[in-house]
Amino acid sequence: MDIRIDIDRLSRELETLASFTDSLPPSVTRVLYTPTDLAAREYLKGLCREAGLEVREDPLGNTFACWIGEDPQAGAVGTGSHIDAIPHAGRYDGTVGVLGGLEALRALKSAGFRPKRSLELLIFTSEEPTRFGIGCLGSRMLSGALSPEAARKLEDKDGKTLEEARWEAGFLGELEEVPLPKGYYSAFVELHIEQGPILERQQIPLGVVTAIAAPASLRLIIEGEGGHAGAVLMHERHDAFLAAAEIALAAEAAARATGAPDTVATSGVCEVFPGAINSVPSLVRLELDIRDIDLLRRDGVVNAVYKACEAQRKKRGVHIGLEVLNADPPAHSSPKVVEALDRACAAYGLNYLTMVSRAYHDSLFMARIAPTAMLFIPCKNGWSHRPDEYAAPEHIEQGVRVLAHALAELAGS
Ligand code: GLV
Ligand code: MN
Ligand code: MN
Ligand code: MN
């Protein structure tokens, strides 16, 4: 089969999708259910319909674009990723797997392929945790890892619930309809930029992901005692920010102490109240992201944070409320899908690296309900989650071609 990827069209579409942004280009900011997110979804649904795919949405906004196969009862073969972008991000994270997945299906159609199993593009709702504080919202619910009851309790910082936000965005219906029935997908493949420097450094055009690291996120509300920065004596203080600082440093020390490069800990949110230079911080919201490919090691760092909280309660007389936002196990790829990717790479004489993903992806949850694997392409300097994120057209093209080949094999004809 002669699979031809129209990389010019795909590059134009990536550029157009990047124009749906709430920050100054080249940065991309596209947050769940904002008018910008909804407009980008309309653009994509239009492209899917133009390609002759059947489009449907679930009550959370997960979007499915289906090429119905000759045996529609057989488990479908899925591909896809996300289009939401964290504040001031770039144009390739997630979108390469969405528009690249669409291009793979279009290329297979043009090549005259007739799938036995249905082939379906999935655009997941909110892979990023920007709103509601939890990543992989769509895939988490599709897989059943997040129950409708738990989802109904989700509330954003501004007090808006997920239920209110999705209704306002026009996604109605019951959340009970979101989880996919067992066997819905016989295989799932996600194409994504690596978001790290390994492929580029080793000059290898593709990565086949064998496992995805286990992410955990914690939210700490630290209550101390405020006061005048000049008047409150040092030994009488209960400084909430200094407690937060020591906890963040304890997380860093615990992550470094494992000696494993796969252990990482980040304190990416630290909101200080009242946030005045001449006022002792009385309240801090600190959020930590802790990951490892090894679950026990990851939980060791989480426990170190608990201990650090205890130590700060004693040392500084602060009150600390701790909420575990998520603590997910790692995912392991399916040998069946990895082998399909291996054969697809071989078909084009392309070398690949097997690797773990330290970033999480919707595949972390799809792996719970379907044989799943991911395909990585290099990105410049490993940069991601920043406006200068870049993937070269030739790498995107190679990734989409390999994806299309693997999807065709998995779908059968
Ligand atoms: C998602 O982008 C992540 O934080 O890995
Ligand atoms: Mn991301
Ligand atoms: Mn992503
Ligand atoms: Mn991600």
ipTM of the complex in this document: 0.94
Provide the pLDDT for residue 171.
Answer: 98
Contact in structure between 29 and 81 (CB atoms under 8 Å): no
Global confidence as pTM: 0.94
Element (H, E) at 134: none
Dihedrals phi, psi of 136, to nearest 5 degrees: 55, 40
Ligand 1: list residues with CB < 6 Å. 128, 135, 359-360
What distance in Å separates the CA atoms of residue 364 and residue 140, rounded to the nearest whole number? 9
Query: Which residues of the chain are modeled with pLDDT < 50?
Result: none
Give the distance, in angstroms, between the CA of residue 393 and the centroid of all CA atoms in the same chain. Answer: 22
Q: What is the amino acid identity at position 354?
A: T
Interacting residues of 311 by C-beta distance below 8 A, sequence separation 6+: 246, 250
Residue with tokens 């005045």: 276
> Which residues on adjacent β-strands are paired with residue 188?
78, 372
Provide the pLDDT for residue 354.
Answer: 98
Q: What SS3 class is residue 22?
A: coil
Domains of the chain and CATH, by start = 7-213+330-411 (3.40.630.10), 214-327 (3.30.70.360)
Q: What SS3 class is residue 121?
A: strand
Binding-site members for Zn(2+) are: 82, 93, 128, 192, 385
Ion ligand 2 residue ranges (Cβ < 5 Å): 93
Provide the pLDDT for residue 221.
Answer: 98
Residue with tokens 């045996």: 71
**Other beta carbons within 10 Å of 236:** 11
The rounded Å distance from CA 88 to ligand 1 centre is 14
Residue with tokens 């990543």: 135
Provide the pLDDT for residue 137.
Answer: 98
Dihedrals phi, psi of 300, to nearest 5 degrees: -60, -40
What distance in Å separates the CA atoms of residue 335 and residue 168, rounded to the nearest whole number? 42
